[in-house]
A and B are shown apart, each in its own frame.
Chain A
Amino acid sequence: MRIQVRRTGGFAGIERRAEIETSGLRDAGDWRELAERAMADGADTPSAGVPDGYHYVITFDDDRTVHCADPGLTDAQRALISRVLKEGA
């Protein structure tokens, strides 16, 4: 599974992108389970968000895209986003 995260907004207004291909990873199953939970709670369209809050767009296999924004992330979304931004490239 290819997971892409794009983070925009924030106090600095600086965009960050990262992606990871989980196929073949030892913990590919964990990634898939986390991705599915994050996907289930995501919105199809961006929300207004809050002043200086981050907006996130998560894309799965170039197929499904979900939107979420601080501070309204679910635990799964937050965990997935921080893992992709940390471990992805």
Chain B
Amino acid sequence: MNTIAPVFCTIVPPHVLDKLAQAEDPRLSGPARRTLEVDSAHRTRRRITGLRAVASPTAAATGNPHRTIHDCEHRTALPGKKVRGEGDEPGRDATVNRAYSGLGATFELLLSAYGRDSLDGAGLPLVASVHYDEGYANAFWDGDQMVFGDGDGEVFLDFTLPVDVIGHELSHGLTQYTANLDYQGQSGALNESVSDVFGSLVKQYTLDQTADRADWLIGAGLLAPGVSGEALRSMKAPGTAYDDDVLGKDPQPATMDDFVRTSQDNGGVHINSGIPNHAFYLLAVELGGKAWERAGQLWFDVLTGGELAADAQFTDFARLTVAAARARFGDGAELEAVTKAWSQVGVPTA
């Protein structure tokens, strides 16, 4: 798929080519711009020269991504043929290029906002496979890597299109290396919600959006033209993302009053995630500003803090976010906002 010689002159540094490749796609020209704007001179220089990170005064803020993209060529053997490694210039396959830059955006959020060097905190290489199977309308994390299908073209488009979907899959890796929430019932819904939260934060970070400007959608741009819906999930208004003849209606609840009991989908992990998703949204909007800074920090603190049990329930997670708010910000607006957010979705914190 990606064996054709790159159309761009290779004298231009790879990261610049990356931006050029992305610029054709309006959904990704934002991320490219964001990356260019926010990179400190130090880190930009590192990326251009491809040097390994040198220990800096803020020890946490080191590290470079180690990305590899594979092409399954519409078969199902993983990982498939390697088509792009770290620092390689983009090829003609937009799917490969999107996966590569989405991995980079997620890596960059973790590093710059939270000082975490990749998913495991120790520079874990990031691996993704694209063009999985024929018309495969899904993406998943297999425990070691991300896998993306092209979509069926009728209901779902290419799963690499929304950067929040890429961030979502990678965040399953982050959860696996930290709290390792059981993918079942409420802990499974928390696992899903953490992925939606950081997936959305990756998108907001790449667009440099404040909480009030963000769309808070998961999978915007993924539904084919003609499908009645704007995305797969809405953190702002769970249950309203789609209402379609083929897909049915978005089943997500926003509050505990509408918690769904089901044996399907590992106990409704993609359904009840709407409740903690909405709590995060309420917190972020109440605090204002960039959601990855304070609200995201609290969620990151809980996920990585070592106290969140693998079988945690919503109330366990909620209580830990309150404790994290107190520990990090004292008895301020953050504490009040996080307590209020959980209360609004019906999850007790006391």
Question: A residues bordering B, Cβ < 8 Å?
Answer: 8-15, 48-55, 70-71, 73, 78, 82
On whether the beta carbons of A71 and B139 are closer than 8 Å, the reply is no
Q: Is B248 interfacial (CB 8 A cutoff)? A: yes
Among A9, A48, A52, A78, chain B packs the most CB atoms within 10 A around the CB of A52
In whole angstroms, how far apart are the Cα atoms of A54 and B219 in the complex? Answer: 17
On whether the beta carbons of B195 and A51 are closer than 8 Å, the reply is yes
* Dominant SS among interface residues on chain A: loop
In whole angstroms, how far apart are the Cα atoms of A17 and B191 in the complex? Answer: 26
Interface range for B: 35 or more
* Dominant SS among interface residues on chain B: mixed
On whether the beta carbons of A71 and B165 are closer than 8 Å, the reply is no
On whether the beta carbons of B269 and A13 are closer than 8 Å, the reply is yes
Residues on the A chain within 8 Å of B140, using CB: 10-11, 50-54, 70-71
On whether the beta carbons of A52 and B141 are closer than 8 Å, the reply is yes
Residues on the B chain within 8 Å of A9, using CB: 264-266, 269-270
Residues on the A chain within 8 Å of B247, using CB: 12, 14
On whether the beta carbons of B265 and A8 are closer than 8 Å, the reply is yes
Closest 3 CB pairs of A and B: A13-B270, A52-B140, A51-B172
Closest to B159 in A: A11
Closest to A71 in B: B142
In the complex, how many angstroms separate the beta carbon of B192 from the nearest chain A beta carbon? 8
Q: Is B308 interfacial (CB 8 A cutoff)? A: no
Residues on the B chain within 8 Å of A15, using CB: 264-265
Residues on the A chain within 8 Å of B325, using CB: none
22 contacts between A and B (CB under 8 A): A9-B265, A9-B269, A9-B270, A10-B138, A10-B140, A11-B138, A11-B139, A12-B137, A12-B156, A12-B247, A15-B264, A48-B183, A49-B183, A51-B141, A52-B139, A52-B140, A52-B172, A53-B142, A54-B140, A70-B138, A71-B76, A78-B133
In whole angstroms, how far apart are the Cα atoms of A32 and B134 in the complex? Answer: 23
Q: Is B127 interfacial (CB 8 A cutoff)? A: no
Q: Is B26 interfacial (CB 8 A cutoff)? A: no
Closest to A78 in B: B76
Residues on the A chain within 8 Å of B142, using CB: 50, 53, 71
Known A51-B141, A52-B139; judge A12-B270 contact (CB<8 A): yes
In whole angstroms, how far apart are the Cα atoms of A70 and B169 in the complex? Answer: 15
Q: Which of A54, A73, A78 is within 8 Å of B138, CB to CB?
A: A54
On whether the beta carbons of B139 and A13 are closer than 8 Å, the reply is no
Mark B142-164 against chain A: 1 for CB-CB distance below 8 A, else 0.
Answer: 11000100000000100100000
Residues on the B chain within 8 Å of A10, using CB: 137-138, 140, 270
In whole angstroms, how far apart are the Cα atoms of A3 and B159 in the complex? Answer: 29
